[in-house]
Structure 1
Amino acid sequence: MKKLFLMIFVLGLTSLSAQNYCMSAPEGFGAGATGGGTVTPVTVSTYADLNAKLKLTTPQVILVSGTINCSFTSILVANKTLIGLPGARLVNTNQTAEGSGILSLKPGSDNIIIRNLIFEGPGAYDVDGHDNLTSEATNIWVDHCEFQDGMDGNFDNKGTADNITISWCKFTYLKAPKAGGSGGADDHRFSDLVGSNKSNAPADGHYSVTFKNCYWAEGCRERMPRARNAELHILNCYYNTSLKNSLAIGIGGGDKNSTCYVEGSDFARIGKPFKDYISTDGGKVDVVFFKCLKAPANFGTGVSKPSYTYTTLPVSDVEKYVANKSCGAGATLQVSATGLFSTSCK
């Protein structure tokens, strides 16, 4: 059994898949996130305590224990690491527009790590409500989380959000969608939005987001992700939903144009892998599918591979590792009561 304390990775773990599964630090556009660093962890088991710890201005490493029933919280968060102990779950089943959603990170939020948590919403209902997690934060790493049944969406990045890595996360809808909402969609199982409209963009004009080893699973219909004004890297991701009219990646140029480099990803079962939204968002869109399975043709004039350093899996192994129920995407890390990560996955 190989051990890690918070962000400190024990050298000698030589298997590529093991290193990739339990990363010591983020790779990609969110590589600058350090969260609460190595301060002594504190454990919370109530909504009030969780909220209080997130509001503190000092760095914190927060361990979440058990199921916490949440109210929608919009909060400024900085220099925080939030880690779920095994089975930890943040839940809000409120299906009203104002009461829905779990956590919204306000503009100005920065340097955040969230790992090994399950976010559970009430199921999709299109009344312009809230997401399980909404972020306008910069320098954020969300790793090994499972997002279930977000009402408006599972995990959206918009507004001032930038420099983001989302790794080993699973997105799914287990509850039937509710029809008749004021937004017009009777089936709003739309998972992940990047940018809320064609003019919405961070300070530098582009949402820089890495999706690595993520799994869009059963029940997802659209937005895997849907983006505008974006600079995306979708790496070693897995798509498998039985919905016949599902749409994986949707990209509009927006006011600042968009690029998307899709690498080593497996579109195993999806209605349509890609759609451009230039007709509604305007701008220019360039998408490259490099060494992917069941991918469409490239779109636009080309995209360069990201310049940062990162590890990859062979595309033939993506399903084997990413969809693994014990060691794949989702809240599958082993975490001790003192914040020790461990893995026997190889």
Structure 2
Amino acid sequence: MSKKLIIAFFFLTMIKAFGQNYYMPAPEGFGATATGGGNATPVTVSTYTTFKNALQSTSAANAVILVSGTIDCIYTSVTLNNKTIIGLPGARLRNLQITVGNSTTSAANSGILNIKPGSNNVIIRNLIFEGPGAYDVDGRDNLTNEGTNVWVDHCEFQDGIDGNFDNKGLADNVTISWCKFTYLKAAVAGGSGGSNDHRFSNLIGSDQNDAPADGHYSITFKNCYWANGCKERMPRARNAELHILNCYYSTNVSGARAIGLGGGANNSTCYVEKTHFASIGSVYTSYVSSDGGTVGIKFTNCLSGGSNVGTVPTPTYTITAMPVNEVSAFLTDATCGAGATLQVTSGGVISPTNCTLGINENVSDTKIKISSNLIDDTLKIHFLNNIAGEGKIDIYSMSGQKVFNFSKYISSDETVEFNMESLQKGVYICKIEIDNKTTNLKFVK
């Protein structure tokens, strides 16, 4: 095999390794069995009437729905079975109705979509849900799920009047992946619910006795991003077993609270793995005093995580993960990160081919360079002028395992060489910390 073919093969391997994480052909985690409408020929909708009719239809002709453009919605509560909803690029479902000063009217007009109890096997991907802004009037959410075997992927939830995306009632076996939660509008004070700032994003279980048939909400949050404006409930859960993996917390709200757990009637656990709490007031808040029961939360391989409480079992299913030091760069990327960033054709085909995240970090304007993205046994790192100080270099495999570490004082315009002979063939992430700054570069051996 020629050297050019070898290089091409390894770069395709690199694209595949990162593309499979960003573009998930099937769900992982608690919602892994969801298949939605399968391979049915999609129907495209661009008005509220056609959207509602397609949702309510049980015909195979409406099993896969493509949403085009912006659709102004009223609250729609519907039973969905074997249904897939996919947004074409830029697709948005919105309900902007709000009557400030009138809590009753605001609550009655609120909400976008409720997946009713009895729903099963539902997939929602690549949609923006937009509400009018947080207003505590005991209103409805942008999306409420009460169904089972549900996968919500690459959606962005903005400015829910009550919540952005809640799970309650009989909801169970749910995976929420690559979703972004944010509040872009100022909260409205004076609502009948009592809170003047109700930017509370994700509630699981509406009270201490609310639970699905087996007693626990089994929900996976994978590669999700709680961004500016989020104040609380990221998520807040009762009667739950949660797995939070490779998520990113960075909000500009002072004193914001990330994860909240109450035991409820059946107790709650939360396994938090390889998650980055970058800008958050409180990583974990206990609500046992109000919800009763017991809680357990475990932080493993997290950045700025919290303290462990109680005993939490490790999830037993198979799931792909990225190193925690890559979470912030991946999830915040405008074209390939969390939110409605998938490339979808007019025929409903989702493709990762336009996503170059993960293969272009060694660019020309970087002040720290790897001599080549493809190495044999020697890794050379060059530090350009004006880069000097105590340096720390860690190398991670794609499974997140640290396979090499080194520390030394780095001089300006210095090249450092490392023997990588012991590393197996594969893709690696090189994390370089110097002068209070972090640079992540990738290479293939």
Task: Please classify the TM superposition score into its range, dividing by the shorter chain length.
Answer: over 0.9
CA drift of 1:58 comes to 3.1
Gaps of 5+ in 2: 1-11, 99-105, 358-445
Greater radius of gyration (CA): 2
> Does residue 286 in structure 1 map to residue 296 in structure 2?
yes
Distance 2:307 2:300 in 1: 10
- For 1:19, the equivalent position in structure 2 comes to 20
Pick one of 318, 340, 346 that aligns with 1:331: 340
1:17 Cα deviation from its structure 2 partner = 2.0
Partner residue of 1:37? 38
Judge conservation of contact 1:177–1:188 (CA < 8 Å) in 2. Answer: yes
- 2:67 maps to what in 1? 64
Match for residue 130 of structure 1 among 136, 140, 144: 140
Query: 2-side partners of 1:228 and 1:284: how far apart?
Result: 10
> 1 CA distance for matches of 2:263 and 2:165?
21
How big is the shift at 1:13? 7.6
Alpha-carbon separation, structure 1, partners of 2:162 and 2:171: 18
Residue 103 of structure 1, aligned match among 102, 105, 113:
113
Distance 1:139 1:58 in 2: 20
Q: C-alpha distance in 1, partners of 2:282/2:19?
A: 31
After superposition, the C-alpha distances for 1:101-133 in whole angstroms (9 at most, x for unaligned) are 100111101110000000000000000000000
CA distance in 2, matches of 1:223, 1:15: 34
1:156 aligns with 2:166: yes
1:303 is displaced (CA, Å) by 1.1
- Alpha-carbon shift at residue 12 of structure 1 (Å): 6.9
Is the 1:58–1:79 Cα contact (8 Å) retained in structure 2?
no
Q: Specify which of 307, 310, 316 is matched with residue 316 of structure 2.
A: 307
Within 2, Cα distance between the matches of 1:119 and 1:93? 11
Using the alignment, how far apart are the partners of 1:247 and 1:206 within structure 2? Answer: 23
Quote the residue 1:191 is aligned against.
201
The match for 1:117 among 122, 127, 133 is 127
Q: Which residue does 2:425 correspond to in 1? A: none
Greater RCO, CA 8 A, separation 6+:
1
1:145 alignment partner in structure 2: 155
Match in the other structure for 1:317? 326
Query: Equivalents in 2 of 1:31, 1:58: separation in Å?
Result: 24
Given that 1:156 and 1:193 are in contact with CA atoms closer than 8 Å, whether structure 2 keeps it comes out as yes
Cα separation, 1, equivalents of 2:97 and 2:195: 19
**Aligned AA (2:185):** K
- Cα contact 1:201–1:229 (8 A) shared by 2: yes
The two structures have a TM-score, normalised by structure 2, of 0.74
Distance, in Å, in 1 between the alignment partners of 2:264 and 2:155 is 29
CA deviations 1:245-283 (Å, max 9, x no partner) are 100000000000001000000000001110111100010
Of 63, 87, 90, which residue of structure 1 is paired with 2:93?
90
Contact 1:153 1:191 in 2 (8 A): yes
CA distance in 1, matches of 2:59, 2:262: 39
Q: What do the CA deviations read for 1:172-200 (whole angstroms, capped 9, x no partner)? A: 00000000000000000000000000000
User: How many Å apart are 1:305 and its aligned residue?
Assistant: 1.3
State percent identity of aligned pairs.
Answer: 64
| C-alpha displacement of 1:224 | 0.1
Bigger helix fraction: 2
- How far the C-alpha of 1:138 sits from its partner, in A, is 0.4
Does 2:239 align with 1:236?
no
Q: CA deviation at 1:134?
A: 0.4
Deviation at residue 16 of structure 1 after TM alignment: 2.6
CA distance in 2, matches of 1:269, 1:342: 32
Q: 1:274 aligns with which of 267, 284, 301?
A: 284
- Whole-angstrom distance in 2 between the partners of 1:146 and 1:93: 16
Contact 1:222 1:247 in 2 (8 A): yes
Answer with 51-60 or 318-327: which moved more.
51-60
**SS of residue in 1 equivalent to 2:244:** strand
For 1:265, the equivalent position in structure 2 comes to 275
CA distance in 2, matches of 1:17, 1:185: 42
Q: CA RMSD in A?
A: 1.1
Equivalent in the alignment of 1:74: 77
- The TM-score with structure 1 as length reference comes to 0.95
